[in-house]
Amino acid sequence: MNNAIYMDNNATTRVADEVVAAMLPYLNERYGNPSSMHTFGGDVAHDIARAREQVATLLGCHPEEIIFTSCGTESDNAAIKGTLTMFPEKRKVVTTRVEHPAVLTTCRDLERHGYSVSEIGVDRAGRLDIDQLGFRVDDNTAIVSVMWANNETGTIFSVDEIAELVKARGAVFHTDAVQVVGKIPLNLRDSNIDLLSLSGHKLHAPKGVGVLYVRKGTRIGTFMHGGHQESGRRGGTENVPGIIALGKACELAMRHLDEENTRVKALRDRLEQGILSTCPDCFVNGDVDNRLPNTANISFEYIEGESILMMLNKFGVCASSGSACTSGSLEPSHVLRAMGVPFTAAHGSIRFSLSRFNTEAEVDFVIEKIGPIINRLRELSPFVPKAAAR
Ligand code: PLP
| Interval 9-37: pLDDT, tens | 999 999 999 999 999 999 999 999 999 99
97: pLDDT strictly greater than 80: yes
pLDDT exceeds 60 at position 325:
no
> What is the Å distance from ligand 1's center to 112 Cα?
23
Give Cα 332 distance to the centre of its chain: 19
Query: What number is the average pLDDT over the span 246-250?
Result: 98
Task: Give yes or no for a contact between 90 and 227, defined as CB atoms under 8 angstroms apart.
Answer: no
Comparing 74-83, 186-195, 315-324, 367-376, the range with the smallest average pLDDT is 315-324
For residue 106, the model assigns a pLDDT of 98
Any atom of ligand 1 within 6 Å of the Cβ of 147: yes
- Which residues lie below 8 Å from residue 251, measured CB to CB, with a gap of 6+? 54, 57, 58
Active-site residue, 325 included: yes
pLDDT value at residue 324: 55
Query: What is residue 331's predicted lDDT score, i.e. its pLDDT?
Result: 80
Mean pLDDT, the chain, whole residue set: 95
Distance 322 CA to ligand 1 centre (A): 15
How far apart are alpha carbons 247 and 304 in whole angstroms?
A: 40
Check if 154 has its Cβ closer than 6 Å to any atom of ligand 1.
no
Q: What is the pLDDT of residue 2?
A: 72
What confidence tier does 166 reach under pLDDT thresholds 50, 70, 90? very high
CA-closest residue to ligand 1 atom 10: 72
Q: Give yes or no for residue 73 CB within 6 A of ligand 1.
A: yes
Tell whether the model's pLDDT for residue 298 goes beyond 50: yes
Looking at the CA of residue 73, tell me the nearest atom of ligand 1: 16
- Nearest-atom number in ligand 1 for the CA of 201 is 15
Verify whether ligand 1 is closer than 6 Å to residue 171 (CB atom): no
Q: What percent of the chain is predicted at pLDDT more than 90?
A: 93
Who contacts 218 (Cβ-Cβ below 8 Å, separation ≥6)?
Answer: 172, 194, 195
Q: What integer pLDDT is reported at residue 90 of this predicted model?
A: 98
Q: Nearest residue CA, atom 8 of ligand 1?
A: 11
Give pLDDT tens digits for 210-230. 999 999 999 999 989 999 999
- Residue among 98, 100, 95, 55 nearest 73 (CA): 100
Q: Which domains does the chain have, with CATH numbers?
A: 5-12+256-380 (3.90.1150.10), 17-252 (3.40.640.10)
Contact, 347 vs 330, CB < 8 A? yes
- CA-150 nearest atom, ligand 1: 3
- What average pLDDT does the segment 160-176 reach? 97
Residue identifier of the C-alpha nearest atom 13 of ligand 1:
72
Confidence of residue 327 (pLDDT cuts 50, 70, 90): very low
Q: pLDDT band at 326, cuts 50/70/90?
A: very low
Q: The pTM is what?
A: 0.96
